[in-house]
Amino acid sequence: MLFKVLPKTEFLKIVDHLGQARPVIGPVRKGTSRDGRALYDFERLAAPEHLSLEATTTIHSAKRFFLPHRETLCRFKLEGRGFEKLAGDDHPVSQVVVGLHPCDINALNRLDKVLSAPPYPDHRYLARRRSSFLIGLGCMPEPHCFCRSMGTHSAWHGFDLFLTDLGEEYFAEILSAAAFELLQGFQCREAAHADHEKYKAAAAAREKRFTARVETTDLAKILDMEFESPAWEEWGKKCFSCGSCASACPTCYCYGVREEISLDFASAVKEKILYSCNLVDFAEVAGGHNFRKDPATRLKYRYYHKHRGFLERFEEPLCVGCGRCGLVCLAGITVPRVIASVRGREEGHA
C-alpha cells in the first residue's frame, strides 16, 4: 500500500474528472430528522459540489448500487409455438462510489464472499464490483456505531483509494493501480513522517469516540447455549416484522423471485427482489405451512445468521456494526441490546 497526501481542493477536481467518464455516487444531504440530526444518503451526483464528505451514517448503504432491490433477470415472449428467452435489461455499468466508510467497505467485502461462492455466484453483482472504482473515507463514530466491536472500523482491502481527514489535506491510502495512475495527473505529494504522525493522532482520536459496544467473545458459542433463551421471546413481542432492518442493512442479501405473465400469455418477466427474513411469509411454503410463523423465531434466526451461521462458513460475522438497523427500527431494537440480553446482562433489557 502506498501513502500520499492530497489537498482537499484537489480532491474535488478528481471527483469532477471521474464524473466526466462515468456516473459518480456519493453521500448527499437529504434533510433533517425529527430529532435534529442531519440526514444523508448515497445518490448519483449531478455535480461534485453536491458531495457531502462530512456525512455521518447514511440512511442506506451503497449496497443498492451493487445489489439492487429489484432487477429483471430475464424476459420471455411468445414466438410461434414456443417462448423466446430475452436477456435481462439491467446491464452492469462502470461507476465511481465516493465516501464509503470502513464499515460499508467491509460490508461489500462480506457480500463478495457469499455472492461469489459456488455453485451459484451472482454474476451481475460481481460484474458491478469489478467495474466500480471505490473511494473510502474515514469517519468519526456516532453513538449507535459498534463497528469497532465487529472489527470493521478499519478497511484493509476492497477499495481503490481511502482518505483520512488531516485538516486541510487528506491522507490517501492507495491500494490499486487504477488509483495510483489517477493521482499521477493531480497535485499530491509523498506522505512524510509528520503526515504519518498526524494520521496516527487522528486514528487515536477516533478510537476514543466509540461508545456503543457488543461483546463478541465466544458469541457463537453463547448463541448456541442460549437458543431457548426467553430474551428472544421478549424481543419478538416488540418486533413489528416490518423488514426495515433488512432494508437498511448493508449486508442482507436474501431475495425472492417473481414471475409475471401478461393476460394474453404473449410475454412474461422474471424479477429478483430483495426480501427480509423478518417478514411474516419469508418461510412460508406450499400448503400454507410456515416454518417461522412467530416474530420471535424470525428475529432469532436473523441474529443467528448474522453472528453464527455466516461466521461458521466464512470465519467472520455478517454484521459490520453500522447500527442502521437500530436507527430505523420502529420498536427500538438494536444489536447491542439484543446481544446483551441474550448474554443475561441488564442493559439488554433497558
173-224 confidence digits (pLDDT tens): 999 999 999 999 999 999 999 999 999 999 999 999 999 999 999 999 999 9
Q: What is the pLDDT of residue 265?
A: 84
pLDDT one-digit tens code per residue, 225-279: 999 999 999 999 999 999 999 999 999 999 999 999 999 888 889 999 999 999 9
User: What's the number of CA atoms in the CB half-sphere (13 Å) around residue 23?
Assistant: 13
Q: What are the residues facing 83 on neighbouring strands?
A: 78
The confidence score (pLDDT) of residue 57 equals: 94
Predicted confidence (pLDDT) at residue 49 exceeds the cutoff of 50: yes
| Rounded CA separation 88/114 (Å) | 22
Q: How far is CA 73 from CA 68, 92, 179, in A?
A: 12, 13, 33
- At 92, the pLDDT band (50, 70, 90 cuts) reads low
Evaluate if residue 94 carries a pLDDT over 60: yes
pLDDT at residue 348 tops 50: no
141 phi/psi in degrees, rounded to 5: -65, 145
